[in-house]
Structure 1
């Protein structure tokens, strides 16, 4: 199964990194697009601030799983949606890092190590896998339209669906618990507050 998605996973990773670079390097230019997304995240954070770690983790898990499932199902639209969502997620990460380093005056590497890496090591691969699956669906559609596909390509996608959903869900669940419990502590230590 890994071989079937490796190239799509690599494409998703490249798109995510391009998005992160754009979000960080062009933060001021992209603020009109990314600020509403940030505002939504801030509102969610304020709502969850007084919740327990469990309630916060479950809310984060639900939101991230929903986005991942949208990326997977969005592959049915010729793979365009997972392509765009993975770039947008990367851009949001880059924008958050640029904003964090500018407003709080901590180094980029410290922001990555404390604010992204602890939960991102699980969350980002989950997003990339969901995006890879969605892009594979889109590529299979293109091949079917061109009648260049191999017999059984759709069968592989159907067979892999629940395995990928399970892997993505487990990764996102672990990420959500880390993001709701460990990441805030590390960020407070990094900021010195």
Structure 2
């Protein structure tokens, strides 16, 4: 369960990580140029987040409220995405695309209104915690895709075994052990990112 083992797991899935990053970048570009129905959908997503932020700001201890919401929201979603990737990787793809489109649309919208506001959004609002949070999000999605690949591989292997005496590979116990390792470090890193977002990013955006 050490960090070294976590890094080895990531090193073994370079291909799926690269695919996830490329899909995320493409989703940001799609969000940037979105119009019509997609634009309205993304606006609703951002307005919903704004309403949540407003309620948290009005609480007795805004920074603590932000930390609790950010950490549990991100940690629960990322761990669920990892395990729900078992459904042939569909959920991780949706999660990547939606998050990328929201970021692309938000950055474009802010850039269209003010270059100074764009600087504040990226340097003060996203960069301090995003250095950790975004890679962790991509890792969770990539692992969800890997989970889906394992399921499909097992199904194919099961079909082939109907006409074969070949014993199934003993890969699932190892894979599940790796899954819990990745889930643990995803939660730990998101905990650190939530601390940064609710303190450093929060103070910079308000200052």
* TM-score bin (small chain): 0.7 to 0.9
Task: Find out whether 1:43 has 2:61 as its counterpart.
Answer: no
Equivalence for 2:86? 76
Q: Please point out which of 173, 177, 183 is paired with 1:159.
A: 177
Structure 2 counterparts to residues 82-93 of structure 1, below 5 A: 82-93=92-103
Question: How far did 1:185 drift?
Answer: 3.2
Question: How far did 1:48 drift?
Answer: 0.9
Equivalence for 1:174? 192
Query: CA 1:132–1:156 in structure 2 vs 1: closer, same or farther (change >3 Å)?
Result: farther
Equivalence for 2:38? 30
Equivalence for 1:117? 127
Question: How far did 1:100 drift?
Answer: 2.1
Query: CA 1:39–1:111 in structure 2 vs 1: closer, same or farther (change >3 Å)?
Result: closer
Task: Find out whether 1:132 has 2:150 as its counterpart.
Answer: no
Equivalence for 2:23? 15
Contact 1:75 1:81 (C-alpha < 8 Å) held by counterparts: yes
What count of residue pairs does the alignment treat as equivalent?
188
What TM-score, normalized to structure 1?
A: 0.87
Max Rg structure: 2
Q: Deviation string for 1:161-180 (max 9, x for gaps)? A: 22111111111111112222
Question: How far did 1:114 drift?
Answer: 2.1
Single out whichever of 180-189 and 156-165 deviates more from structure 2. 180-189
* Alpha-carbon distance between aligned partners in 2 of 1:109 and 1:58, rounded to the nearest angstrom: 27
* Alpha-carbon distance between aligned partners in 1 of 2:131 and 2:35, rounded to the nearest angstrom: 23
Query: Does the residue aligned with 2:21 lie in a helix, a strand or coil?
Result: helix
Equivalence for 1:62? 72
Contact 1:27 1:98 (C-alpha < 8 Å) held by counterparts: no
Contact 2:110 2:117 (C-alpha < 8 Å) held by counterparts: no
Single out whichever of 42-51 and 105-114 deviates more from structure 2. 105-114
Single out whichever of 14-23 and 139-148 deviates more from structure 2. 139-148
